[in-house]
Chains A and B, each alone.
Chain A
Amino acid sequence: MSGNEAIARGAFECGARFAAGYPGTPSTEIMETFANYPGVYAEWSPNEKVAMEVGIGAALAGAKAMVVMKHVGVNVAADPLFTASYTGTNGALVVITADDPSLHSSQNEQDNRHYARFMKIPMLEPADSQEAKAFIKLAFDLSEHFDTPVFLRTTTRVSHSKSVVALDEPRITEDRTAIRFNAEKFVMVPMNARKRRIAVEDRMRDLRAFAETFPENRMELNSPDVGIITAGISYHYAKDVFPEFSYLKLGMVYPLPAEMIRTFAARVRKIYVIEELDPFLEEQIRALGIEVTGKAIFPYTGEFDPGIVEQAITGSRKAARSLPEIPIPPRPPNLCPGCPHRGLFYVLGKLKIFVTGDIGCYTLSFMKPLEGMHSCICMGASIGMAHGMSKALGEKGRGKIVGVIGDSTFLHSGITPLLNMAYNRSDAVIVICDNRTTAMTGMQEHPATGFTLQGERTLGVDLVALVKTLGIESVRIVDPYDLQAVRIAIKEELARPGPSVVVSRHACALFKREKVASRKSFRIDPKKCIGCRLCLGLGCPPIAWTAVENESDSRTKETEGNGSRDGVAVIDQNRCVGCGLCEQVCKSGAIAEEEG
């Protein structure tokens, strides 16, 4: 099973029955798997901060709670967690942070091991699925025993790799939940927090001592010449290429076992620290007065693989074989055929405006040919940034600033900045791209979909009513399959003083629940196509340009209109889903629905 499935299984086996999270690659499958086990409560919260508070509350009530998010989610959830480190947990609280070295699907490459040190919370890091299952249990034990939240850190490679896992019988769980009062421990006003502050340092001392005997911090003594200190997936990369070396494999990456490291250092002549991203272990080991080699030879950026580890240590690159040097066009991810975001961003890209963007599938529209988005920082940033730009620009920005945000992202962190726009009277226009789901991470439910993570029907918030309640007076809905309607709506709202919101609503083309009857595909009449390439401006995957070799052949002679074309556009019938945008864009009437 995958590392993520193993984490969910381990949590279930050891009796955890409570989880909250917000989707985010590479963490999402942990919640999706856990939610399917019998007798558990699992929820998608609107964002990670809420999920964290839900977890803290559940632990306060005595539950074994798991909170799950991707690395940047911890930024959102950091505020409650910093102080939950002081209060400790009545039950148990394990926070999963799924980091993404190489930014396979993230906006940054932050190394969340720093949070463990910063928050004074212990952190475990598994190297594969079997360890992932074992470590989540150890994390819950640690949390209960030391009365502290515990981090379990994975990386994309651990979360998304599959390896063989031996299953265990689920533990019989006893219900330890109850209402228990303890204001000194849970009301963090200065006089109480000062005392807890001391308790945290005592706990850190105990944890450091525990780390020395923690069985998952283990030495494998082989060659006395070279010792490797490592954790997580890097351990397997190194073992692959250097099975003969000695190893200190750390299952707990914070706090570190100082004595064990000293003992290991005394047994080997040269030490390498192998870790992706920051020199987190390396710097702490150096602070012990131990000389090691780490980032002097290993990259700071990107994930490793066995080849990178081998090359860094041996210093030699195997003579590269001569392989064909043919230019291979890149294959970036693209909006799907029929994606409702395409129509919206086609219109936005044509207006001479600045579009502050956000994170979701729609972020892909910054690329050619749509080029309909001009900034993207973090979830929710679009609205605050649009407001800030519009205020800073004053007259110069009037009618020129649009912020765009997805439905899931809006509910995650767009509500407060929109309230701010109403409160501080902005002139920007906000478009909510409401495709009825959290598409990018694989169709998760959110508070406007009407369903919960566990598949129950629930209240779906009415976005228009919500936006009006926040104080935005001008709100309208458009269908992004209708280019003209989108164009008119955006232009009118830009012309209007004060803040306004356009809800661009059409279900994701891959979203089965809201799928309307399938449409007919479109085709281009090669006789009518004048080769103007307008339809290619949509960047729709089934539409391709084909050069016309010989303009004098009989087919092209019949061309109505421009005879100087050098090619025609063709639609791949098998992949066209019939959204009809190309028909609206074509000026020569060459595109029509397939007959029959």
Chain B
Amino acid sequence: MTETKGILLAGVGGQGILRASDILCSVFMAAGLDVKKSEVHGMAQRGGCVTSHVRYGEKVNSPLAKKNDIDILVSFEQMDTLRYLDYVKESGTVIMNTEKIFPPAVNLGEALYPSNVLETVRRHFVKVVSIDAATLALRAGNIRTVNTVFLGAISSCLNLPLELWEKVLQESFPSKLISANMEAFCSGRGAK
């Protein structure tokens, strides 16, 4: 039996994280795998932390991963990467956004936004991909494709046929949004 693997998507409410993890699940299902995902929608609609655990394999029990057991961490916000590093396996991959979204304490000038986040992450993990997802999404023609950029980045870490991703993506968006999302996906897939 193949072991269960885990991906953790994290960021700020309103960034499209839950949508991305839904699509990710569809991809695993299309690949004939068992998959479970679990997320916490925060108290308010926006602004708070959002996480989504996706676990896949031949047979998945827990929808939640334990610490030190995540294969890929995808952080949609720069400093929030640090919040979840203890979930990632030593050999795991960290995919992170360069975008900063200031929490209230930083806005008020009461706390500092951490500096050198990328360097810090690199010091602890070998496989780190930092992406300016907003720029790539804009280049694809739609700022709302940020989450698809990350799906592209995830795809390059997984051994699944590209056609599978393309098929699921095509089914996931209304026709007028498909081309922008495809482009976003490709740019994420190519990101190093």
Contact = CB atoms under 8 A, between A and B. Distances in A.
Interface of A: 25, 104-105, 128, 156-157, 160-164, 233, 236-237, 239-241, 305-307, 310, 318, 320-321, 323-324, 326-336, 361, 364, 367-369, 439-440, 442, 510, 533, 536, 539, 541, 543-545, 547, 567
A442 B106 CA distance: 28
Closest 3 A-B residue pairs measured CB to CB? A307-B66, A333-B48, A545-B109
Contact of B114 (A157, A305, A326, A567): A326
Interface of B: 4, 12-13, 22, 25, 29, 34-49, 60-69, 79-80, 82-83, 85-86, 90, 102-109, 111-114, 117, 120-121, 123-124
A131 to B, nearest CB: 13
B41 A536 contact: no
24 contacts: A104-B40, A160-B38, A161-B63, A162-B22, A236-B63, A307-B69, A321-B90, A323-B124, A324-B121, A329-B105, A331-B80, A331-B103, A333-B43, A333-B44, A361-B44, A367-B104, A440-B45, A510-B45, A533-B108, A533-B109, A541-B47, A544-B107, A545-B108, A545-B109
Contacts, number: 168
B37 A161 contact: yes
Contacts of B63: 128, 157, 161-163, 233, 236
Given A161-B38, A333-B13, A536-B107, 9 more contacts: A160-B40, A306-B64, A307-B66, A307-B68, A307-B69, A321-B68, A321-B124, A326-B82, A331-B47
Given A369-B108, A545-B108, A440 B47 contact: no
A368 B66 contact: no
A368 B41 CA distance: 22
Contacts of B36: 128, 161-163
A324 B82 contact: yes
A229 B99 CA distance: 46
B11 to A, nearest CB: 10
Nearest to B134: A574
B82 A328 contact: yes
Contact of B62 (A25, A236, A327, A541): A236
Contacts of A320: 86
Nearest to A26: B41
Contacts of B65: 305-306
Q: Which of A157, A324, A533 is the most central at the interface, judged by chain B CB atoms within 10 Å of its CB?
A: A324
B45 A442 contact: yes
A404 B191 CA distance: 50
Q: Which of A326, A361, A543 is the most central at the interface, judged by chain B CB atoms within 10 Å of its CB?
A: A326
A495 to B, nearest CB: 33
A368 B13 CA distance: 20
A544 B60 contact: no
Nearest to B39: A160
A279 to B, nearest CB: 22
A157 B79 contact: no
Contacts of B40: 104, 156, 160
Contacts of A327: 111, 114
Contacts of B46: 333-334, 336, 510
A536 B114 contact: no
A315 to B, nearest CB: 16
Nearest to A25: B41
B39 A329 contact: no
B107 A541 contact: yes
Given A104-B40, A332-B48, A368 B12 contact: no
B105 A163 contact: no
Contacts of A367: 104
Given A368-B104, A541-B107, A305 B66 contact: yes
A317 to B, nearest CB: 10
Contacts of A326: 82, 114, 117, 120
